[in-house]
C-alpha cells in the first residue's frame, strides 16, 4: 500500500553544503505491517517520515500510497490516509482544549463546518481501553496531562479517524519506561486489532527487538531490511509483499 | 457616566478582535490599527451616501474581515512574517482610508465637527465623568457634543440617554453570543486548536492557511465593526482614529484577564468587554485629574504601553517565583510572534 520507488531526498540542493539525506530508497509496505526503523542520529529516518507525510517531496523518485502517486499532494490531503504521532507530547494534541474537544477535532478529517461539535462514542470507548482513567475526566485540559497520557491521547486521536497508516517518530522517546511500555502496547493493539499499518522510528533497542514484523535500518540515508516476519494481522491485508531485499544495500549513489 | 460604559463597550468589542488574534489563533496581528479606521471611514462614507446605519456597519465589518484575510494571505501564501504582513496591510489601509474619506476625516452629515478630532483616547477621553461631578450642568453639556453627537440616537432610536447604552449592550451581547456559539462548532473548536498547535491541526486535514484566514478575518471583522460604531457614535471618522489601537486592545485584553483569571466566560471572550469598561473608567479618571500632574490625552498611549510592559514583567516575575503564572506569556509574545 505504500511504495517508494527510487526515492532520494537532497537538502539544499545546488548549494555548497548539499546534503543527501535519503538515497535511492525503494521500499514497499503492505497492509497490516508493523515496520520498525532504527538507525543512528542524522541517518535520515525523520526525512523518510517527512516523505511519507508529504511534508517533503522527494527530490527524485515517486511515493505511491494505495497505488496513487503522491506528488503534489499536501500534508492536509495525505492526512486522510495517514495519522502521525511524534516525539514531542505537545505536538500531537491541542494543549489548550479539553480531552473531549481534542477527540472531537480528531474524529473527523478534512474541512468542517458549523455543526456543533460532538464526540463519537467510539473515541471515548477507545480511551477507556487504555486504562489510564482519561475517560473519566473528559473536561480536563489536555495540556495538564502527563507526557505519557498526552502521547496515549495523541495515539487515540491519530487513529479515531481511521487512517490506513500510522507514522510514529520516536513517540516513546520522552516517556518514562513504564509509560513507554504502555504506549507500545497500545501501538501493538492498534496494529494487531485494528489492522492499521504502523511505521515506527525508535532508538529503543529492546522495543525494536520485541515489536514489529519488519525491521529496517537506515544508515547515511541508505535503507535496508534486516528482519522480516509475516504481519500478525492479516484481516485487512492483501497478500503481504515479499521482502524488499534481504540485507540488500541500495546502490550508494546520490543524485 | 454612562459614556464610560458605552465607550467601554465599543472598546471591548474591538478588543474581542484583538483577543481572537492574539489569544485564540495566537498571532500578533497588527492590522488592527488600520481596520479600526477602515471601519470608521467606510461606515461614515456609506452612511453619508444614504445607506442606513446597520447596513453601513455590516459592510464595514465585511471590509474589515477582508483586510484580515489579506494579512493572513500575505503571511501564509507569500510567507511574510505576521508582524510585517499586518504592518503592510495597515499601511495600505492608511492610504485607502484617505481615499474612502476623500480627506483626513469625514463627519457624519448634519453634525458639526469641532476642532478636536483624533485618536480614540483623545475623543473618548473627553471627560465623560462630567455629568457625575457637575450635575448642575445643562443637559446638552458642551463636552457631549464633542464626545458624542447623538447620531446614534438619531439613527437607531429615540432620544433618551440610556438607549444608546441599551443598543450598544445588545450589539455587544449578540456578538459575544454568536462568537461563543461559533467556538462551540466543529470549525470553531478547530480554530481554537489551531492557536496552540497549527501543525497538529494539519494532520487532521485542516490547512493552516484556511484557519489563518478564518481567524484573522474574524478578528478584524470585530475591530472594523467597532470602528464603525465608534465613528457613528462620535459623529465622524478620522484617519488617525486607529492609531495605537492594537496596544490599547492588548491592554484591555490583559486588564480583562487580570480581573477574570479564574473563570473563562464564553471561552474568555467576555473578559475584553469588562476590560474595556474598566479601561475606559481609568481613562476618564486620568483625564479628569491627570492635568494636575501635567498629563495630556496624548500621554495615554504611553501609559497604556507601559501598562502592557508592566503586566508582562509582573507575569515573568511570577513565573520565576514558580508561582502559577496568571498570564500565558508565551502566547502574548514568546510563542505568538515568531511562530509560523
Ligand atoms: N531542513 C533541513 N535542511 C538541511 N539538512 C537537513 C534538514 N533536515 C535534516 N537535514 C539533514 O538530513 C540528515 C538526516 O536528518 P534526519 O532528521 O532525517 O535524521 P534522523 O535519522 O531522524 O536523526 P535523529 O535520530 O537524530 O532523529 C541529517 O544529516 C540532517 O543534518
Ligand atoms: Mg529524527
What is the pLDDT at residue B154? 46
Residue A248 lies in a domain: no
Q: For residue B28, give every residue at least 6 positions away whose Cβ sits within 8 Å of its Cβ, in sequence order, or none.
A: B21, B22, B82, B83, B86, B333, B336, B337
The residue contributing the CA closest to ligand 1 atom 24 is A41
Nearest CA to ligand 1 atom 6: A11
Q: Mean per-residue pLDDT for A15-41? A: 89
Q: State whether residue B177 is helix, strand or coil.
A: helix
Q: Which residue of B has its CA nearest to A101?
A: B189
For residues A198-227, one letter each, b for 16 or more C-beta atoms within 10 angstroms of the residue's C-beta and e for the rest, the string is: bbbbbebeebbeebbbbbbbbeebbbbbeb
Residues of chain B under the 70 pLDDT cut:
110-162, 261-263, 319-340
Residues of B with CB under 8 A from a CB of A: 182, 184-190, 192-193, 195-197, 199-207, 210
Strand ranges of the sheet holding A34-38, from the earlier edge strand across to the other edge = A82-85, A165-169, A197-201, A34-38, A214-219, A222-228
pLDDT value of residue B29: 93
pLDDT tens-digit readout, A159-176:
887 888 999 999 888 888
pLDDT of residue A249: 32
In a domain, A82, yes or no: yes
Residue B227 pLDDT:
94
Would you kindly state where each structural domain of chain B is located, as residue ranges?
A: 2-110+150-295, 304-340
* Structural domains of chain A, count: 1
Name the grid cell of A39. Answer: 538507525
- Per-residue pLDDT tens over the stretch A199-220: 999 999 999 999 988 999 999 8
Domain CATH number, residue A47? 3.40.50.300
| pLDDT at position A67 | 87
Q: Is the CB of A21 under 6 A from ligand 1?
A: yes
Find the domain containing A85 and state its range.
2-228
Q: Kind of pairing, strands A2-11 and A60-65?
A: antiparallel
A41 within ligand 1 shell (Cβ under 6 A):
yes
C-alpha closest to that of B86 among B41, B30, B47, B132: B30
A17 CB within 6 A, ligand 1: no
User: May I ask the CATH class of domain B2-110+150-295?
Assistant: mainly alpha
CB atoms within 10 A of CB B263: 9
Whose C-alpha lies nearest to ligand 1, atom 25?
Answer: A41
Q: Return the residue of A nearest to B179 by Cα.
A: A114
Model pLDDT, residue B6: 87
**Which atom of ligand 1 lies nearest, measured to the CA of A221?**
14
Indicate if ligand 1 lies below 6 Å from the C-beta of A4: no
Give, to the nearest 10 degrees, the angle between helix B186-196 and helix B161-184: 80
DSSP lists the bridge partners of residue A200 as A36, A168
E strand or H helix that includes residue B203: none
Nearest CA among B199, B211, B187, B174 for reference residue B73: B211
pLDDT at B263: 64
- Distance (Å) from CA A169 to ligand 2 centroid: 7
Cβ neighbours around B51 below 10 Å, total: 15
Q: Residue A75 phi/psi, 5° resolution?
A: -55, -45
* B21 and B246 Cβ atoms separated by less than 8 Å: no
pLDDT at B36: 95
What pLDDT score does A110 carry?
Answer: 65
Distance of CA A199 to the CA centre of its chain: 5
* Cβ proximity of B211 and B201 under 8 Å: yes
Distance in angstroms (rounded) separating the CA atoms of residues A146 and A169: 19
Whether A88 has a pLDDT exceeding 70, the answer reads yes
For residue B241, give the C-alpha cell.
482614529
Q: What is the DSSP string of B19-64?
A: HIIIIIS-----THHHHHHHHHHHHHHHHHTT--HHHHHHHHHHHH
Report pLDDT for B161: 62
Q: How many CB atoms lie within 10 A of CB B216?
A: 32
Q: Is residue A235 part of a domain?
A: no
Amino acid at each position: 500500500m505504500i511504495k517508494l520507488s527510487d526515492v532520494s531526498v537532497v537538502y539544499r540542493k545546488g548549494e555548497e553544503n548539499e546534503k543527501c539525506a535519503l538515497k535511492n530508497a525503494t521500499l514497499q509496505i503492505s497492509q497490516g505491517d508493523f515496520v520498525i526503523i532504527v538507525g543512528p542520529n542524522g541517518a535520515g529516518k525523520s526525512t523518510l517520515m517527512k516523505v511519507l507525510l508529504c511534508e517533503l517531496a522527494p527530490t527524485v523518485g515517486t511515493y505511491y500510497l494505495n497505488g496513487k502517486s503522491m506528488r503534489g499532494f499536501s500534508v492536509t490531503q495525505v492526512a486522510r490516509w495517514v495519522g502521525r504521532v511524534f516525539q514531542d507530547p505537545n505536538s500531537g494534541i491541542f494543549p489548550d482544549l479539553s480531552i473531549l474537544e481534542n477527540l472531537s477535532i480528531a474524529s473527523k478529517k478534512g474541512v468542517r463546518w458549523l455543526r456543533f461539535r460532538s464526540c463519537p462514542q467510539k473515541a471515548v470507548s477507545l480511551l477507556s481501553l487504555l486504562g489510564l482513567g482519561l475517560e473519566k475526566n473528559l473536561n480536563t485540559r489536555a495540556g495538564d496531562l502527563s507526557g505519557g497520557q498526552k502521547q496515549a491521547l495523541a495515539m487515540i486521536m491519530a487513529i479515531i479517524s481511521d487512517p490506513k497508516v500510522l507514522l510514529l517518530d520516536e513517540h516513546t522517546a520522552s516517556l518514562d519506561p513504564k509509560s513507554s511500555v504502555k504506549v507500545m502496547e497500545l501501538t501493538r493493539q492498534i496494529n494487531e486489532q485494528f489492522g492499521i499499518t504502523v511505521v515506527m522510528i525508535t532508538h529503543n533497542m529492546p522495543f525494536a527487538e520485541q515489536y514489529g514484523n519488519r525491521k529496517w535500518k537506515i544508515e547515511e540515508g541508505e535503507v535496508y531490511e534486516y528482519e522480516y516476519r509475516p504481519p500478525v494481522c492479516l484481516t485487512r491485508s492483501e497478500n503481504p509483499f515479499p521482502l524488499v531485499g534481504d540485507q540488500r544495500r541500495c546502490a550508494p549513489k546520490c543524485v | 457616566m454612562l459614556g464610560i460604559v458605552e465607550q467601554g463597550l465599543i472598546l471591548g468589542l474591538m478588543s474581542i478582535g484583538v483577543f481572537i488574534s492574539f489569544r485564540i489563533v495566537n498571532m500578533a496581528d497588527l492590522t488592527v490599527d488600520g481596520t479600526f479606521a477602515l471601519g470608521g471611514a467606510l461606515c461614515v462614507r456609506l452612511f453619508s451616501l444614504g445607506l442606513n446605519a446597520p447596513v453601513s456597519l455590516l459592510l464595514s465589518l465585511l471590509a474589515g474581515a477582508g483586510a484580515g484575510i489579506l494579512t493572513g494571505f500575505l503571511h501564509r501564501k507569500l510567507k511574510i512574517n505576521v508582524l510585517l504582513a499586518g504592518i503592510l496591510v495597515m499601511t495600505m489601509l492608511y492610504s485607502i482610508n484617505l481615499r474612502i474619506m476623500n480627506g483626513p476625516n469625514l463627519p457624519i452629515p448634519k453634525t458639526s465637527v469641532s476642532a478636536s478630532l483624533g485618536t480614540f483616547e483623545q475623543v473618548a477621553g473627553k471627560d465623560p465623568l462630567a455629568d457625575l461631578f457637575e450635575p448642575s450642568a445643562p443637559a446638552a453639556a458642551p463636552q457631549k457634543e464633542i464626545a458624542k453627537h447623538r447620531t446614534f440616537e438619531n439613527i437607531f432610536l429615540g432620544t433618551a440617554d440610556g438607549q444608546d447604552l441599551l443598543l450598544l449592550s445588545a450589539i455587544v451581547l449578540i456578538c459575544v453570543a454568536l462568537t461563543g456559539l461559533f467556538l462551540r462548532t466543529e470549525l470553531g473548536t478547530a480554530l481554537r486548536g489551531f492557536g496552540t498547535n497549527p501543525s497538529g491541526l494539519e494532520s487532521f486535514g485542516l490547512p493552516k492557511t484556511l484557519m489563518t484566514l478564518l481567524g484573522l478575518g474574524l478578528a478584524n471583522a470585530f475591530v472594523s465593526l467597532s470602528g464603525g460604531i465608534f465613528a457613528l457614535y462620535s459623529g465622524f471618522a478620522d484617519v488617525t482614529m486607529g492609531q495605537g489601537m492594537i496596544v490599547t486592545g492588548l491592554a484591555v485584553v490583559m486588564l480583562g484577564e487580570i480581573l477574570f483569571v479564574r473563570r473563562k466566560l464564553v471561552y474568555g471572550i467576555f473578559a475584553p468587554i469588562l476590560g474595556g469598561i474598566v479601561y475606559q473608567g481609568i481613562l476618564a479618571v486620568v483625564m479628569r485629574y491627570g492635568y494636575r500632574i501635567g498629563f495630556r490625552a496624548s500621554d495615554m498611549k504611553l501609559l497604556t504601553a507601559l501598562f502592557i510592559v508592566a503586566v508582562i514583567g509582573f507575569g515573568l516575575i511570577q513565573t520565576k517565583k514558580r508561582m502559577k503564572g496568571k498570564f500565558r506569556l508565551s502566547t502574548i509574545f514568546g510563542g505568538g510572534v515568531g511562530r509560523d
